Amino acid sequence: MYHSPVTNALWEARSSIFERKMDAGGNADAGPQTELLTKRPAQSRTSIVYKFASDDILREQYRDPWNEVRVGKLLEDLDALAGTIAVKHCSDDDSTTRPLLLVTASVDKMVLMKPLRLDTEVKITGAVTYVGRSSIDIQIEVTQVDQDLSTLLSDISQLATDGDVQSDPIALTANFTFVARDSVTGKSAPVNRLSPETEREKQLYAETEALEKVKRRKREEQKGVLEKGVHKLGAEAERLKALLAEGRVFSDFPALADRDSILMKDTRLETSMICQPQQRNLYGRIFGGFLMHRAFELAFSTAYAFVGQRPCFLEVDHVDFLKPVDVGDFLRFKSCVLFTQLENKWQPLVNVEVVAHVTRPELRKSEISNTFHFTFSVGSDALKNGVNIRNVVPSTEEEARRILNRMDAEGLFD
């Protein structure tokens, strides 16, 4: 079994939806869905429980060297769960319509609030929170509870109504965006509407809608920069100049450079692979969760080599799925420490960027397929022992722009 047992189980559930349509009379000539349905979040809500405490085989499959849950492997499952939820929401149970092609567009703010242990059950639950014309936003929560608190929390949960009270403490939250494409034409396709019912569902819908409006406004602002953003360009030039100043010292006067700083290019790591058939998803493309898994492992190694101590994963800041990756593609992952945030001495932050390139040696061509941004910190023991985290500086304008773009996205200049 190549994928995790959870991912395989989710894919089997997803496949059964397509098979039911085909068994009911669906065929290759079926047309697109013409009448959109209105669905409730509860209709797509899906949960998976990892019984680590009682299942020795499952626990061993997810164990990392420090006896915690392997985050990279969990990322695969989260993507598979989000995909299954998207399929459930878009299904119309009509054998005369063809199923949509649903692909991961992005992942935003996957935040780990506490380490995931292997001595108790872990539960992942997700549902659709918002839909656009052809996009679907899904929020997933990972919960884990101490065994000695489970009885108390179980009693408390009995008092919950409408599903608005979360009984178990949340260990991780993740937000996925999927887009729908017509499986024949490849064009964007409309998705079923969403009707939130509970107060929590209505709150999530309103929050996501507001966030979408902010994203649209930012895109419009970026389009207008060249037309009426002369002052912005001037301000950006000053920021670039300030970032590049220290990097130029490294190039021109290396003996006088700050010993507490390091050039971005000196933090790089790289790995490459040929994408195999076993790594494909139900649509024949390379599984997005697998790409996140590989990117996370490289980002973790990059942070480890940079800090000199085992890093603590905090969050996936953002993932973009720009181009599909196919079986047989030569895929290269390139990582670097993009910048550090050292203002809080008890929780210094290390921001790692991983870029995936689909490389075609025959054509002497390379295209970016995915970008990943991760944030790590270090454990309290390492901080007590005086670990020194260096400041990262760019040596080229292109590197400086990548830093500024990421800082702007994180709101660090607001």
Is residue 22 over pLDDT 70? no
Determine what percent of the chain is predicted with pLDDT higher than 90: 50
pTM of the shown model: 0.86
Residue 157: which pLDDT band, with cuts at 50, 70 and 90? very low
Rounded distance, CA 355 to CA 371, Å?
A: 5
Alpha-helical (H) ranges within 158-276 are 199-223, 225-228, 230-252
CATH, range 234-410: 3.10.129.10
User: CATH 3.10.129.10 in the chain, residues?
Assistant: 5-146+166-197, 234-410
What φ, ψ does residue 340 adopt, rounded to 5°?
-120, 155
Given this model, what pLDDT does residue 92 score? 80
Given this model, what pLDDT does residue 159 score? 43
Is residue 62 over pLDDT 90? yes
Fold of 5-146+166-197: Thiol Ester Dehydrase; Chain A (3.10.129)
Rounded distance, CA 324 to CA 322, Å?
A: 7
Q: Which of 5-19, 21-35, 280-294 has the highest mean pLDDT?
A: 280-294
Residue 24: which pLDDT band, with cuts at 50, 70 and 90? very low
DSSP per residue, 341-393: E-SSTTS-EEEEEEEEEEEEGGGTEEEEEEEEEEEEEE-HHHHHTT--PPEEE
Residue 383: which pLDDT band, with cuts at 50, 70 and 90? confident
Is residue 218 over pLDDT 80? no
Give the range among 32-36, 69-73, 94-98 with minimum mean pLDDT.
Answer: 94-98
Q: What is the mean pLDDT of residues 108-118?
A: 90
Helix pair angle (71-90, 5-23), 10° resolution: 20
From 54, 195, 180, 61, select the one nearest 128 (Cα to Cα).
Answer: 195
Given this model, what pLDDT does residue 372 score? 95
Rounded distance, CA 178 to CA 140, Å?
A: 13
